[in-house]
Chain A
């Protein structure tokens, strides 16, 4: 009988919240019918039935947090009965019999999809002998290696006599550079274990003081995910930074001119649209910054999928403008507004906020003079955009003239690019924005 499972809606998703059932037990559903509203760390969305039949049993209750891959309901076809869940049902019993007595023929149940990968993962390390004691590694390291199909020969031990200890393997897992060759991406069923690992707190966090005037707030799931990813990025991605100051008068003039012409079409270009376009165009000559850091090397991308940071009331999300390099300012403007609006509504689809190749983060609207951003792994770079500040400057003749100045700061992954690459790239962005006609090329 088909199970309805908590779907994995993003690569960092470990569990989702069942917000509301949209169908009740016993109701007929057709494939594609929305049956429940699910909230992940990023979005709220409707879960659609993948089968038709009777919604036979609602396992999860509204408000439950359910690990990815776990059944939340069953859809029964005609004449099917709902299996009991705690091993007492017919299906479970038959399964047990088969497992015990091999002579049981013909009655073997096909293994469910959720069981198989787990077993493979468990056996894999034995098959190639990696876990057979050739490495000095603590017991928990060996267990983590087995559960996550890691190759300990790729992990450097920092304990006594080179013992691989927990912190070494955690770091390797976060960097993603200990995966055994040919190991598949972690399957859904492993998500809970990943949850445990990602929940690991390095040993620096104090107990709450609980002093008067303090209040203990539990972070939202989104904040937890952001926190974990940013911690990971800040600790394991070697950042370097490069700032430029851009004179924006020409770009502002062009923007004013274009906005006047596009007013009838309801389009109003923002400064950020210009910056994003400029960042994309500049990447043509600096492709190594449009890249992802992967387990097997740096993956260079031809097209620029630009993630834009959107602040939410309780967090942050980075929807992606696909192939921004080939899009005009008007399209970019329209898409960015739509994505930002829907991001704030919580109605983005996973594919709309996953898979960027570079990120732009703009805090100019808050009057921020300059800031540096944390790289959004596995991307190579992020550009921090500050406010436009009008102040005295010198013209070619040494006369003092007013100028609109804006600071941009690049944060880049030193494993992918070097300082010179970053400097040249930022110089190119500056050149384009100061000669905005280049945006049109």
Chain B
């Protein structure tokens, strides 16, 4: 299947064309650099996992980089971001140090959440990242709550709420979307739902999970405006993001964007690739890899050349190597950390220490 053709009437071609005009090349080069860093980071994670340095679950963002990269271009200080467990890119894009993120994955005390959460639970509250969450759909009501609190506090901040296509079959999604639409009527819910439709919930395709495969249109049921965007096209995403974020900020009403994208990596660190999708399908999507597309465009337009590319790749590699080295050399969390952060306030551990 190919996602961008599912609902051609939504005009993703058109928004892409506009995006190309709206985004200047220097900025695109910078964003290319960011996406390359994310890609290199995720590949380093896969290596770390294979080496046994990273435990638990590992979900990488390879193939989806343009979505978060584009939407977070519209992020403003004080905004909040919440996502599920495929969360490394969001942390890096919000400015978390790759060293601390990698250290978290390595289970180190220098990790971004002190080695207590791992890959699925990256938080950088100061920078706006309200977390990665491990239960599909479970984080969605939280994001709606953030948005209410933002308006209750009379700020013009918004919440970017990322969810996957799989989450849209959960009860929590429907309950939260309903609430969001409802509260939005009073301007009390500046929440931007960003559906990262990577076509599969683990190994089950969208078609095999719902009879109504227009995920964006599902938000109609909750009185929420929505649209689709080509999530492989960074410029299209940026155009969409800047426009809808502005609207959400302005109105205090929620909005939903279905970003059509594709996870070219396995669901976890490894999965049974061929069982649920063909090599041909993966190959087809790789042709539309967001980094590849942008690279091609920048080379063709003369904004990048091979030397510059090598330079960027060299820098990226160096930063990731540093992060891995930092993580590898960091100490494990002190054992006393076992019992901290259970409760706020006295942080009492209510049991046997």
* A–B direct contact (CB < 8 Å): no
